[in-house]
Amino acid sequence: MTIATPTAAGRAPTRWPRSFRLLYTAAVAHDVGFHVGQLAVPVLAVSLLSAGPAQVGLLGALSTAAFLLVGLPAGVWVDRWPRRSVLVAADLLRAVLVASVPVAWWAGWLSIHQLYVVVFLTGLGTVFADVAAQSYLPELVGRDRLVAANSLLVTTSGTLQIAGRGVGGLLVQLLTAPAAIVLDAVGYAVAAAAVGRIPAGGPRSGPTREPGGFARQLGAGVRHVLGSPLLRPLAASTASINLTMQLTTTMLPVVFLRELGLGAAALGLFLGVGGVGSLLGALTARRLAGRIGHGRALWLPGLLVAPLGLLVALVDTGPMLWLAGLGWLALAWRTGIGNVIGVSLRQAATPDALLGRMNATFRFLLTGALTVGAAIAGLLSQFTDVRTSLLVGAVANGLTWLPVFLSPLRALRRPPGA
């Protein structure tokens, strides 16, 4: 696979190093399966296991609960262990776990409780994989190419989100959800094989030790994030985005399949619209940040799309389905911009020795917010109705740009060291 990027002056493209191309291949394989599985699992729970709103909410919470339980210490371990080995082990673990779902279904003993266990343990592998991948990237491409590398990764992820969820919906409709989940397991296995081919040498290929005990090293990562006038508001804003988006995402399968009577294909296409928005956000992030500054690129899109988010809460058949799709597109566009600019800012503002713990702290906060959001969605829907969860998510999401706007990050032109 040949991956190139234009130089700053727009001359002939510069080729990415082989190690990054392998990491990119792994990301592609993982994302193809992940987006199919992310759709197939809740559809399986709702349509084949007759799960109610509370069970769907618990399923969503358990998928990210590991970030709350081991998210912070994972950063210390990743900073100590070879990051390549962590990625391979995490992908292999997730491949085996996900493969157990279709096997159990075909054997006739799959239950909602097995789904709970699988999504929780898969989330545990994701904790280490996400922290290791984001900490590994500066080593593979250099800090001067972080924005370009993250832009490529997020752009590709957005493209695969469109294809993965759209195709995933059709696969679920045609082959059943358990059959579609097989693709998720294959994606993890291919990702492990690709990362395993990255050369083991390099300046940061082996484990390192810092002075001080485990708790002191863990605290250093937390203090780096929460004590930074740039990283602290970024964490607050992104965590609130994740929480409010999760209020909507968790209950969309229930709304589409039960309330509106639409099939898995329609749900997949609707969620795939979010991939279009994420792709557009990733494609426009660098140019937007270069024109108005990185700080404004983090808060201004949130202000602009706030009213459109309400359309998602009003999703219905007919014209409202199209308007809701427009709102979902706008929210995802804003998220795609934030993924490129925010992750690059985090990596640029952190020394190599703290990258694992910084990323673990962010993942703890951001993915922990997903856990809380899914749990709140389940409770709101159980004691009121699913529309309440969508409405609360839309209104609260319209305020998530404020932490950046009210901080020194508001007018930042370029990342530190750029």
- pLDDT tens per residue, range 71-106: 888 888 888 888 899 999 999 999 999 999 999 999
At 61 the pLDDT is 83
- pLDDT tens per residue, range 293-341: 999 999 999 999 988 989 999 999 989 999 999 999 999 999 989 988 9
Q: Does this model's pTM top 0.95?
A: no
At 12 the pLDDT is 34
For residue 272, CA distances in Å to 195, 253, 325, 384 come to 27, 13, 10, 28
Domains of the chain: 16-196+214-411 (1.20.1250.20)
Model confidence at 163, in pLDDT bands (50, 70, 90)?
Answer: low
At 194 the pLDDT is 95
- pLDDT tens per residue, range 7-50: 443 333 468 899 999 999 999 998 888 878 877 888 888 888 88
**Structure tokens that stand for 383 in this block:** 């004691």
At 417 the pLDDT is 58
Q: Which of 60, 121, 114, 122 is nearest to 368 (CA)?
A: 60
- pLDDT tens per residue, range 368-403: 888 889 889 989 988 888 899 999 999 999 999 999
